[in-house]
Structure 1
Amino acid sequence: MAENSSTGSALPPSFAEIVDDFHALALKDRLQLLLEFSRELPALPPELAGDHTGMEAVTECQSPVFVKVETGSTLADEARIYFDAPAEAPTTRGFASILATGLKGLTAQQVLDVPDDVPQRLGLAEAVSPLRLRGMAGMLARIKRQVREGTAA
């Protein structure tokens, strides 16, 4: 994991790269990058598409977003994370896509080790409302809870 010089907390390389990409841009361009992420949210697998049964609603988000985590039985197993967020909610969708990208391929333990302040590290606090950042933090908290529950089963 890469160190983040501002907090000293370790970030997985995938997240460190995303944070660096955001900080390399002016504020208005960061919003454009967030919109680009919104267009790159991976589609749900067929067994989840169109049916939120088995997915968890993230009530902290202003728009309807759902998340599901699949893990193996140990913390060393890969965590697979799926999101569903409407196209007409680009900020929420962008945050979901950032999490999907940053967490892809990580083990359950690596997901649990991701610092909770990742949403604040993106440098978007001046551009989006605190409510929106809390929504992304809510997504991450639900992911971590689902990982803990999945590996404890």
Structure 2
Amino acid sequence: MSTLTPALEGVVEDFRAVGPQDRLQLLLELSRELPPLPERYAGAPERMERVDECQSPLFLAVEVDGEGGARAVHLYFDAPAEAPTTRGFAGILREGLDGSTPEEVLAVPDDFYVGLGLAEAVSPLRLRGMAAMLARIKRQVRAAA
């Protein structure tokens, strides 16, 4: 069964609670909250995976730590400050998935972003970038788990 993590459900609820213009503002806020890369990834895009489907350059890295039922997924994103939509999508995924178990991440529906209500404010091409980010995250989680 596909489900959202509790944190991702909270993000989706935040987006559903506001109108289209406010959704863009929420996306912009999440873009600003994307944390800087840890030293091991900063300035080393070759250690990250590029998501070519994104209109702006976006790189991501996925780490799975812990053992058994205590495993946790950690997400790292690198996108230019001049790409707030792409950074906002990365912020949604980080906010909603970071710290989740591999099983929780893999259970997220591939089209969960439809529930955000961004189709009215963002082009389908941009939404395709978010779908590609999630697909890459899931692939890296499967490889690490």
Aligned to 2:95, what secondary structure does the other structure show? helix
- For structure 1, which runs of at least 5 residues remain unmatched after alignment? 1-7
Percent same amino acid at aligned positions? 61
Task: Give aligned pairs, total.
Answer: 144
- Structure 1 residue 80: deviation in Å? 1.0
Greater relative CO, 1 or 2 (CA 8 Å, sep 6+)? 2
Give the equivalent residue in structure 1 for 2:6: 13
| 1:115 Cα offset (Å) | 1.2
Does structure 1 residue 126 correspond to structure 2 residue 114? no
In the TM superposition, residue 10 of structure 1 has moved relative to its aligned partner by: 2.2
How much does 1:72 deviate?
Answer: 3.6
Among residues 4, 18, 24, which one is paired with 1:25 in the alignment? Answer: 18
Q: Contact 2:66 / 2:72 at 8 angstroms: preserved in 1? A: no
Q: Choose which of 64, 67, 70 in structure 2 pairs with 1:71.
A: 64
CA distance in 2, matches of 1:20, 1:75: 30
RMSD, aligned α-carbons: 1.5
Matched, 1:43 2:36: yes
Do the aligned partners of residues 108 and 74 (structure 1) sit closer, same or farther apart at CA in structure 2, a change above 3 Å counting?
farther
- For structure 2, list consecutive stretches of 5 or more residues without a partner in the other structure: none
Greater percentage in helix: 2
What residue in structure 2 maps to residue 56 of structure 1?
49
Say if 2:2 and 2:107, in contact at 8 Å, map to a contact too. Answer: no
Point out 4+ residue stretches in structure 1 off by more than 2 angstroms.
Answer: 72-76
| Kept after mapping to 2: 8 A contact 1:73/1:150 | no
Task: State the 1:92 CA deviation.
Answer: 0.2
Is 1:138 the counterpart of 2:132 in the alignment?
yes
Pick from 86, 102, 107: which aligns with 2:101?
A: 107
Q: Shift of residue 73 of structure 1? A: 7.6
